[in-house]
Structure 1
């Protein structure tokens, strides 16, 4: 493919991605894979170049673009060499017209301005749109960091997580014996710290209310030495089913999974009321803390969806509070840097459940944000996370 043809391909993909974002369709990565599956003539270099163009255009466009062409023109006006590809050549985009509209650069949708945590300034927003690191958690059931380091060339120990390693960009971790044997799992450093914030120990009963595909469940089981009981629940059957092979690879046998009916989560967990040493609520959220990995999710969020998520978070916290035994702990987390999902949600819970005592988190990093702590890419080198922890009344 010529540079002009690559630019046109990026425009076509941006059109698809923007439509999918507005209609809650497939993610950008999925659409890019489908696009090239139907275009076998594109070599690996072409695919990498087009993907890079697409993501560069997405990262600079906080608002959903009116068209893929407008998004790419916005990028081209910042990158002079790209403008030369709008030359009307075969398979390339039509020439740029004087005065033609282009997407202005922005970091977030305008309606989100003023809704970020007070700790989030412009430098933090910029960092949220940089490339994310490739992090892995070392599974203590299989070995320690000292075992995993020599098995992963180029890996370095993490600054904050004692159970994590950071790998070089593009490292194919799933092709290594360390991954196949369950010694390591891909997991952002912030997510690792969230798991450690639970203070999991052998013999405990832990409920992971929003377990998803099980990343934090696996980490909790490892911290427990695979001794005790973990109930991992979720309303998404597909995500929950992906946990099973991961448990087997990690050597974890103490996890039972439960599929919950949306809106009836409490009923499905009623037998656990007052029994859990720790309840973790890693709640569904805006995902603003993961914009480094999925920048087009900025285009999917809207005020109504955010309001529904905030209401769901509050409901899940109240359900989870009933499961904690006297003196046990409730841990709340969101991969969000919005005030209403983080410090605002924690403060509201504290008002509703005043007998629960806010506690300091037993992890390094982050900054105090109300009753919890906020981890961010610029400050901590992690995805954006808000984490809070309470002790239940005795």
Structure 2
């Protein structure tokens, strides 16, 4: 990237976003070692992942709104501080309670960082520069998750699972110093904080995510009821935490559903594929993370070309093409004979998936903040990231309650992606 053109804000936001996404997926290749090290039960181990997801997804709307009202810099620094402290305490944890509580705290820090990074980009850049910056941001969304698998496996195999979390600390401290020095403070905006809406949004999202993750349908149903109450309150509140006008733009609405469906397919892929490779091919944690490297490299190469490609073919066509290619890659995994080994069965579909993912994330991110005013950039970013967080648990819970056969799991992912193609065709069509 050309720092003379973008300055320091883009590197700061991309590194921060990369760290929180990496920590979202790092758990998949290091979970076995964490469980053995801390003598965790299967339930406690599942909470190491769920605690982070619950607070990350549950607090996103509140965090996005606070960044709009209280100023980006102040909220961003709070998020980075929470993330650094919790990462250190996770890496130092000696028991299940500390590990789970600090993962929950880390999720709150991530929920602040995620929408604020995109809002900072919206504030700092305009026109073509903004389009390019969002393209890099979208590329980071895909690469961060894939690299998390690799970093988690590598550090676990070579050093310890603790290194995967402790490595966050020096990078986050650097980000704090850079933010203090280079990001300008913006004045707080007038407006009341919707406390009832904040409580309802957190409880509803936590109920939905927890109910799906743990297959506790009464909690999921309660979450849905609270979500309905939340939307009803927001329609009548003078200063809503979630302005429903966001959903009146069909491109933004389509982008939110597309992001949801994308993660309904991708998180289960990151969950099931390493398990299959470790059980069938005897891969170590590091090797199963390394197996995702073709996807990551292709994703990165494609994402770098996106500003030029999008300018030529428009955001909608690139996004639709990406969804079609992603569906083809997932179908290839569903049809493949896994007994033929990694290079024939997994490597080739990985290349296709990398192309599809590289074409999707930047356009769907741009569509999620399409024509959002400066006053709503934070909450629009929050909704985009919220869909990213709740999509994975929804997809994973649907699959694990219906099948435990690898090829059938892959067909579910194909189905989610085909629905995404339809949504893009109907709603995101410019």
Range into which the TM-score falls when normalised by the shorter chain: under 0.3
Richer in strand (by share): 1
Richer in helix (by share): 2
TM-score by length of 2: 0.24
Say which structure, 1 or 2, has more relative contact order (CA 8 Å, 6+ apart).
2
